[in-house]
Amino acid sequence: MRLLSWNINGIRAAGRNGFSEWLNSESADVICLQEVKATQEQAEVAYFPSQYKHIYWNDARKRAGYSGVATFSHQKPEKTIKEFGVEEFDNEGRILIHEFENFILYNIYFPNSQRERARIDYKINFNTCFLEHIEESRKSGKAILACGDFNIAHKEIDLKNPKANINNAGFLPEEREWMDTFVAKGYSDTLRVFRQEGELYTWWTYRLNARERNIGWRIDYFFIDNEHQHLLKDAFILKEIHGSDHCPVGIDIDL
């Protein structure tokens, strides 16, 4: 089974740059998108017709054109949840949780802590709520997968210029400490199961030819609970796929 995750940074803009062709040529069983920045009705022109029969959407309730996540799947989930039950988090369209027969999939667009730490408290509170929720799901005994734009480069190896970014959003000590806590709870960064080298990035600023020069950050992930890590077959970054300032990430897994 192949699963992909991609911060599309505006699905309508991506639709003008070949997104539909990519979507309908993909062999993935499930594709999770973040930062779609549109309602499903607004976005249909970008992906219709779709090879995926089951499409799930969660857009920001109080701010049009902001945030939003979507999931495209060949298989219908047994259940889908769009909220944590906390209004300040649920209003921003960041959450899709799908329960399948053998696994539970979290498609999450984690908050950006922003300049001058403007949303660091919001972000840490959101992340804490996510961790509490995923720990409850773990009691099901099913494989637990969490993917999306975490907006955190976990370790120095995960960005080009760590020393210059030590006080910048996405590499703040509190953010990295939270990621340490998440991993310590028993979740594996799937890419690092297979590849330990540097310069594996998933986001590049549009400025300064950063993508061509590979001056980037790895902030998009697939995590799996340690009990089911043995099911993984591969994890990868699809750097050659354009259309956003992020690129897709994915896993192959026996489920």
**In 3D, which of 154, 167, 148, 72 has the Cα closest to residue 110?**
148
Measured distance between the N- and C-terminal CA atoms of the chain, rounded to whole angstroms = 6
Give me the helices (H) in the chain, please: 11-15, 19-25, 40-47, 87-90, 120-138, 173-184, 190-194, 210-213
| Catalytic site includes residue 90 | no
Q: Residue written as tokens 């001056």?
A: 215
**In 3D, which of 157, 154, 202, 162 has the Cα closest to residue 178?**
154
Relative orientation angle of helices 173-184 and 120-138, to the nearest 10 degrees: 0
**Residue 208 contacts by C-beta under 8 Å, 6 or more apart in sequence?**
215
Residue of 29, 59, 90, 149 marked catalytic: 149
Q: What is each CA distance from 57 to 36, 62, 125, 157, 226, in whole angstroms?
A: 9, 15, 23, 33, 29
Question: DSSP state, 203?
Answer: B
- Active site amino acids: 149
